[in-house]
Amino acid sequence: MATPVALSTNVQTETLDLSRLVDPRSIAVIGASDRPNSLGARSVANLLDHSDFQGTPYLISRTKQSIHGLDCYQSVTDLPEAPDVAMLVVPAAQTLQVLEDCAGRGVRYAIVFTSGFGEMGEEGKRAEQEMARIGRESGMRIYGPNSPGLCNLNKRLGMMFSPSFQIDQLPGPIGLATQGGGIGRCFLQAMERGVGVGLWASTGNEVDLTVADFMRYMADADDIEVIATTMEGIKDGPKFVEAALYAAERGKPVVALKVGRSEYGARAVASHTGSLSGAAEVNSAVLRQAGVVEVDDMDELIDTAALFARKRPTGGERVAIYGFSGGGCALTADAVGEAGLELTAFSEQTLAAIGSVLPDYAAITNPVDATSDILARPEIGHESLKQVAEDPGAGVVLYPFPCDYGELTGQIGESIAQVQRETDTPIVPIWMSDRLGEGYDALVKGGLVPVRSIKRGTKALSRWIERGRWSVDPDWSPLPAGRTGGDLVTFTEPAVKSFLASHGVTVPPSGRADTADKAVDVAENLGYPVVMKIVNSQITHKSDMGGVEVNLRSAADVRLAFDRIAAAAVAAGVTTDEVLVESMAPAGIDVLVGVTADPVFGPVMTFGLGGIFVELFNDVSRRMLPLTPAQARSLIDEPKCAALLRGLRGSGPADVEALADLMVAVSRFVETNSGRIEELELNPVRVLPAGQGVIALDAVLVMNETNGDAL
Amino acid sequence: MATPVALSTNVQTETLDLSRLVDPRSIAVIGASDRPNSLGARSVANLLDHSDFQGTPYLISRTKQSIHGLDCYQSVTDLPEAPDVAMLVVPAAQTLQVLEDCAGRGVRYAIVFTSGFGEMGEEGKRAEQEMARIGRESGMRIYGPNSPGLCNLNKRLGMMFSPSFQIDQLPGPIGLATQGGGIGRCFLQAMERGVGVGLWASTGNEVDLTVADFMRYMADADDIEVIATTMEGIKDGPKFVEAALYAAERGKPVVALKVGRSEYGARAVASHTGSLSGAAEVNSAVLRQAGVVEVDDMDELIDTAALFARKRPTGGERVAIYGFSGGGCALTADAVGEAGLELTAFSEQTLAAIGSVLPDYAAITNPVDATSDILARPEIGHESLKQVAEDPGAGVVLYPFPCDYGELTGQIGESIAQVQRETDTPIVPIWMSDRLGEGYDALVKGGLVPVRSIKRGTKALSRWIERGRWSVDPDWSPLPAGRTGGDLVTFTEPAVKSFLASHGVTVPPSGRADTADKAVDVAENLGYPVVMKIVNSQITHKSDMGGVEVNLRSAADVRLAFDRIAAAAVAAGVTTDEVLVESMAPAGIDVLVGVTADPVFGPVMTFGLGGIFVELFNDVSRRMLPLTPAQARSLIDEPKCAALLRGLRGSGPADVEALADLMVAVSRFVETNSGRIEELELNPVRVLPAGQGVIALDAVLVMNETNGDAL
């Protein structure tokens, strides 16, 4: 069923056609029942009574002859045809056997509701491995287990057991891919604010089909425009990233909530779907890199996805604020400023137009406080709001409603919905009150999806605008997942530097010496001043044990330093055959460039100023490898400490271009040794003034030994 | 009416008895009307039809003989008695005359609804000054103008014109003091979540009575337990801080939302109530110092105040999470971790008890995922939740509801409310769905005030717990406001250092010299190495112009340095008579201690590491002066860079005690020169290793000249 396709740009992997799962021609309910409130009975009711299913249903029951007027089959093996989908409403103990039967009968997709597997511990995990094997060997794709099912709301089809399916139905352009059921349903219930979902996949423990598979499907689906997702764990990081890029290329933004970002959350996730969480910072950096808009809570997921469904941002939107409460407008202006968004300055024409409509005591510069006069005269509210929305600089209008005034705010809500029908500029109402009155209803009905607090509104807006500035990097696709085996080896500094140098990284001119005399020879050849370091791959902090001597300016200095290092080695109880003698680098700014192997996303590069900037402020940026030159530049530009490299307080700019080149070279080095590098840290890298280059002053490499000479 | 009272501890200012405003015996409505929907008619209706007012109402109308069955008076001057309160429902143009009449008749409190004054510009500001004068000269207190009025909901008394008064009534323990009306009403409408407000004062443009006056009143009011406030501007910072401390001493937490924190917001505020905003960072620091819990949005104000109204925190609360959705529990655990809160570890007894009640596949360690089984069997939900709430380590329980399941969540809601009646531990339900069903209603009815998102819940919880750790510093009260006149003078470094030294601040041993020979003499006396600096109060960056020479190790060094400085002075076009020669300080950590005069709060101290830590990371802490030793220590401890002072990576701790002493000495120096210091910056202050003290290496002082020799 998996077909390899060549895409137009960078994402070159097999894709999945899930249309026969999402819109099947035949569905078997295994474990159908008519016992009231049983999962089997509910599943049948959802399919036969509450769906517009046009295909053939098959009910399979070991005890009933007929249910719901349909004859039952004893087993899936008895069916007259191989159904597209089988829904398994069977106890955990029977699940493996029934899956075998399904595979034998040629079922294309098995939806497994049953829970009690990977989330319960080792035994359950083994059962899941069996499921995966059955699927792999037969070609049958498995959805679940521990899943609430699937619903295709744009086709009004529910393959699920929850009675909520009957109620939680508002079709729409959002595709929702979750792992857990409860928070998926939370999203569906945003239909109360007018948020429509076309397809909801909730993949549970993901023995086979994953959130990433549905993102890919939704990227191609004509009825889906925006993808919202919650992930508890990501089993295959590169696959997820590719699915996100694939969606981005097709113009479909992905908004994501990662569950399990703190230690507490990760532990809770493990007991919920048995998923493992990677490091939250890496996760966030990679999502951003792939154009995925990350959010922090369910309400934010809904607000943000709904905003993308209303309009695609350009990234240049400036904000207009309009309201009838001065305090509400001022608070909104505060939040706009604090979010780093920009208020637009109205054109002269707009100012004149709204000034002629609103009373004297209204504020007409942005924010527009139209005053409570518009409650009595909604027509002037309509007229002035329309002028604001059509101002050439207004990319979006925020409209705070601090409170409900019943019929009065009802009329205002109607008039805003009317303006929205007449203009393209999105108007985002902020309904701050806990009382949801006629105005709220009018806004929901008009499709304006009111947000429920000012900060929620500006947060969604920031994310929307920021995503507008992002674009797919056509030169980039992630490295494939997977790691080869082998023992980890830590290389000596000279060895690492020589590897790096052969990949285009500048390291200090150097030589090695096993006697003081030879050290002097090397130093004389290099020219003074020099630096001398102990060579020993077991020592992680050479300076701390007295293994580094800097600023050696003469042969005498070199001899004394050699003796001190030898003594330090004895004191530290380490053996060392030789020292590394290097030219001392000119002054510059020291930074850190590191690569670590993330269990989910593979090699990830970290950049920052070293020392306390990392320790106290966590002021670093990260990117999944490989790194394009453009990505290297943005990686450098992201931390706050980047201001130092650009030149602070009269000091000139540093050689950022050379630093970006070094990062790309490091990335290539890692790519060349794909799947083998556990850790590579260049620290410090000295960045010289612009035009003078960068030098890797020290480096540590830990990698699999399997094929060391391939370096 | 203002009576000076001596309080038990530090706050020693006059207080206000506003009881005759809040609960008057007689009220005159000036501008009463029976014209439908007029402000006058609405005000009369609110007072006579929708309030339980037991006192005497007087209606004043120039055109009507009687309204609402009551005889009208032509003017306030005709009244048979001086009313406690006069509500002015008159046009702006008549307001001053009517206020004069009120004052003449002995009215105690005038409530002025009318808008169109300070918020409209200079003319309006002058009218406000007139109002203030009328009040000052007569003793009549003025509330407003540009105010929606006052409502005492615990007495069911509305002195306001809005018809919403009839609906927005849920009495309760929260006192609400706002400036703007719309956002105040937003708070009242949180009654839909069960949040009750006892008294709402909305002081508008504050020509006389301010938010701070009502905070003070509420601090003494028996029916108010928590104070919530929004301020657009604070006219008298020390008075506000004193009111907050006064409330804190009486065990009443204050929760505040400052409007006008960004430049955009400040501009909007100016056009709304004509208020001026101070610097947001200073504002936040001072609020924290006064125990005021600052929030960022209206929903946060409501959530947080409501939580304080439920229970007072100890500051040591650990969190339990309980729910029926694994995803909801995991997301909540994430948010708890990200907020820096602590999940409790249940006792063995609790674990055994919930384990025996819940099904095998439930997660029983914290978070407790009771699974959807409890939807079918609410009794096991009740039993296990009660065990969780009564676990000895559980200070608060978070209960996420990702979605509504109608009757099923209705039963759960009832059972949670029942548990809450049986236990003291607050249970905070998080109702994440946009569908508000029977469960939501049950929680509201049970007084559990559901929050509407996970992050909102953990944010309120963090603030609640953090406030529990705060306590009033009995040794502290703010310096009085006010500044004397006079021209600003910048003092030379030796002069500032000599002032500081006389106040107990250590400065380097030094001498002054006007020739190279004398400089050498001074240096020889001090001992080498020395530092030499140009003396000139006009130069702000001495180093940049070549005016500082360090590490001078001999007479020859000193002579050369003297010549270089003299040449630099010539090059920079400045005259200088002499240089300052100082002992060079030992190595240490350089910090910045500054004092600036804030227009709202008076002298405020800033502490941080200098340079890029301030520039790039804004890593500083601030306190309103004066500073107690305990405050000095917390000021030092607050920035992230404090880790450097405590000793990072094997370096020992710095002399934090001596630094705290220096800060207290600087504070005393500022206090001694109260109202005169515009700016004082000690930068750098070198902090030596523990036990070795601190040295102010450089200092700048700008102050009023009025009485310079008092230094």
Quick check: is A480 in a domain? no
Q: Classify residue A654 by its DSSP letter.
A: B
**Do A182 and B402 count as a contact with CB atoms less than 8 A apart?**
yes
In the predicted structure, residue A375 carries a pLDDT above the cut 80: yes
Sheet of A85-88, strands arranged across: A66-67, A70-73, A56-60, A26-30, A85-88, A109-112, A141-143
Residues B554, B528: Cα–Cα separation, whole Å: 7
**How many structural domains does chain B have?**
4
Asked whether the predicted pLDDT for residue A32 surpasses 90, the reply is yes
pLDDT at B4 over 90: no
pTM value is 0.94
**pLDDT tops 80 at residue B271:** no
- pLDDT tier, B239 (very low <50, low <70, confident <90, very high otherwise): very high
Taking CA atoms, what residue in A is nearest to B202?
A327
Choose, out of A179, A206, A298, the residue to mutate when testing the contact with B (most B CBs < 10 Å): A298
Question: Residue B345 sits in a domain of what CATH number?
Answer: 3.40.50.261
For the segment B281-294, what is each residue's pLDDT rounded down to a tens digit?
899 999 999 999 99
Whichever domain contains A517, its CATH number is 3.30.1490.20
Q: Are residues B390 and B464 in the same domain?
A: yes
B12 — pLDDT class (breaks 50, 70, 90): very low
Q: Is A343 on the interface with B (CB under 8 A)?
A: yes
B128/B57 Cα distance (integer angstroms) = 27
E-only strand ranges, B153-253: 157-160, 174-178, 197-202, 226-231
Find which of A616-630, A647-661, A674-688, B72-86 is predicted with most confidence, using mean pLDDT: B72-86
Of the pLDDT bands very low, low, confident and very high (cuts 50, 70, 90), residue A647 is: confident
- In angstroms, the separation between the Cα of residue A520 and the nearest Cα of chain B is 32
**A583, A602, A634 — which closes off a domain?**
A583
Which pLDDT score, from 0 to 100, does residue A3 have?
39
In a domain, A524, yes or no: yes
In the prediction, which pLDDT does B215 show? 97
State residue B238's pLDDT score.
93
Structure-block tokens of residue A144 = 């679940």
Look at B224-233, B262-271, B499-508 and tell me which has the smallest mean pLDDT: B262-271
Write the CATH number for A288. Answer: 3.40.50.720
Chain B hits for A167, CB-CB cut-off 8 Å, are 406
**Residue B480 is assigned to a structural domain of this protein:** no
Q: Examine the domain organization and report whether A615 and A547 are in the same domain.
A: no
Q: A106: which 2 tokens?
A: 């040629």
Of A164, A327, A648, nearest to B183 by CB-CB distance is: A327
- A540 CB within 8 Å of a chain B CB: no
Domain boundary among A281, A307, A333: A307
- Residues A241 and A11 sit within 8 Å (Cβ to Cβ): no
From A534, A559, A583, the end of a domain falls on A583
- Tell whether the model's pLDDT for residue B276 goes beyond 70: no
Asked whether the beta carbons of A364 and A356 are under 8 A apart, the reply is no
CA A88 to CA B291: how far, in whole Å? 58
- Buried b / exposed e along B152-163 (16+ C-beta atoms within 10 A): bbbbebbbbbbb
Question: B164 to chain A: which residues are within 8 Å by CB?
Answer: 403, 405
Judge whether B26 lies within some domain. Answer: yes
- For residues A168 and A260, state if they share a domain: yes
Residue-level pLDDT at A504: 93
The DSSP code sequence of A385-436 is HHHHHTSTTEEEEEEEE-S--THHHHHHHHHHHHHHHH-SS-EEEEE--S--
Structural domain including A319 reads 315-469
pLDDT band at B8 (very low <50, low <70, confident <90, very high): very low
For B230, which residue in chain A has the nearest alpha carbon?
Answer: A327
The more confidently predicted of residues A157 and A478 is A157
Same domain, B216 and B92: yes
Alpha carbon distance A307, A465 (integer Å): 10
Query: Do A557 and A686 have their domain in common?
Result: no
What is the CA angle B48-B49-B53, rounded to 5?
A: 50
Grouping H, G, I as helix, E, B as strand and the rest as coil, residue B371 is coil
For residues A237 and B451, give the distance between their C-alpha atoms in angstroms, rounded to a whole number: 34
**Same domain, yes or no: B337 and B299:** no
Same domain, A199 and A125: yes
CA distance B31 to B306: 37
List, for residues A68-109, the tens digit of each pLDDT value. Answer: 999 999 999 999 999 999 999 999 999 999 999 999 999 999
- pLDDT-derived band at A9 (thresholds 50, 70, 90) equals very low
- pLDDT for A562 equals 95
Residue B536 is predicted with a pLDDT of 83
Q: Which amino acid is at A556?
A: A
Tokens read off for B430: 């998080």
Q: CA of A178: which chain B residue's CA is closest?
A: B327
Report if residue A109 sits inside a domain.
yes
Mean pLDDT, rounded, for B93-102: 97
Stretch 279-318 of chain B: residues touching chain A, C-beta under 8 Å? 296-300, 302
What is the average pLDDT across A285-313?
A: 97
Give tens-digit pLDDT for B108-145.
Answer: 999 999 988 988 888 999 999 999 999 999 999 999 99
A202 within 8 A of A179, measured Cβ to Cβ: yes
Cα of first residue to Cα of last residue in chain B, in angstroms, is 39
The first and second tokens of residue B214, run together, are 């009502």
Rounded CA-CA distance B199/B177 in Å is 8
Q: Is the peptide bond before A626 cis (omega within 30 degrees of 0)?
A: yes
The whole-chain average pLDDT of chain B stands at 92
Same domain, B577 and B666: no
CATH of the domain at A596: 3.30.470.20
DSSP-based three-state secondary structure for A711:
coil
Is B326 within 8 Å of A180 (Cβ atoms)?
A: yes
In chain A, the residue whose alpha carbon lies closest to the alpha carbon of B191 is: A434
CB contact under 8 A, A334 and B262: yes
Whole-number pLDDT of residue B11: 43
A259 and chain B in contact, CB less than 8 A: yes
Contact B331 A433 (CB under 8 A): no
Side chain identity at B19, as an amino acid letter?
S
Give the integer Cα–Cα distance in Å for A711 and A483. 16
Confidence of residue B610 (pLDDT cuts 50, 70, 90): confident
Q: By three-state DSSP, how is residue A44 classified?
A: helix
- Does the beta-carbon distance from A616 to B640 stay under 8 Å? yes
Residue B698: name the closest of B531, B523, B512, B504 by CA. B531
Which of B 478-537 lie inside 8 A of A, CB atoms? Answer: none
pLDDT category, A706, cuts 50, 70, 90?
A: low
Pull the structure tokens for residue B10.
Answer: 């530090």
Residue B471, Cβ density class (10 Å: 0-12 exposed, 13-18 middle, ≥19 buried):
exposed
Find the DSSP H helices in A555-679: 555-572, 612-617, 629-637, 642-646, 656-672
**Any domain includes A244:** yes
Residue A528 is assigned to a structural domain of this protein: yes
Average pLDDT over residues A38-49: 96
Exposure string for B477-490, b = 16+ CB within 10 A, e = fewer: bbbebeeeeeeeeb
Distance of CA B490 to the CA centre of its chain: 32
Residues A191 and A296 in one domain: yes
% of chain A surpassing 70 pLDDT: 95
CB neighbour list of residue A696: distance below 8 Å, 6 or more residues apart: A497, A500, A505, A506, A507, A662, A682, A685
- Which pLDDT band, with edges at 50, 70 and 90, does A273 fall under? low
Rounded Cα–Cα distance for residues B711 and B680 (Å) = 13
For residue A645, give both structure tokens. Answer: 């490299």
**Do B552 and B628 share a domain, yes or no?**
no
Contact in structure between B59 and B68 (CB atoms under 8 Å): yes
For residue B711, how many C-alpha atoms fall within 13 Å in the half-sphere facing its CB?
20
Alpha-carbon distance B367 to nearest alpha carbon in chain A (angstroms): 7
- The pLDDT of B193-213, averaged and rounded, is 96
Residue B618 pLDDT level (bands cut at 50, 70, 90): confident
Residue B651, pLDDT score: 75
Q: Would an 8 Å CB–CB cutoff place A402 in contact with chain B?
A: yes
| Cβ neighbours for B409, distance < 8 A, ≥ 6 positions apart | B375, B401, B403, B437, B438, B439, B440
ipTM of the complex: 0.93
* Chain A hits for B260, Cβ within 8 Å: 330, 334
Q: Does B485 or B365 have the greater pLDDT score?
A: B365
Work out the burial of residue A298: count CB atoms within 10 Å of its CB; fewer than 13 is exposed, 13-18 middle, 19 or more buried: buried
Query: A370 CB near a chain B CB, below 8 Å?
Result: no
**Which is it for strands A677-687 and A694-696: parallel, antiparallel or unpaired?**
antiparallel
For residues B402 and B543, membership in a common domain is answered with no
Please check whether residues A90 and A167 belong to one and the same domain: yes
- Residue of B697, B551, B701, B669 lying closest to B610 (CA atoms): B697
Helices then strands (H, E): number in chain B? 24, 31
Q: How many residues does chain B have?
A: 711
Task: Give a yes or no: residue B300 inside a domain.
Answer: yes
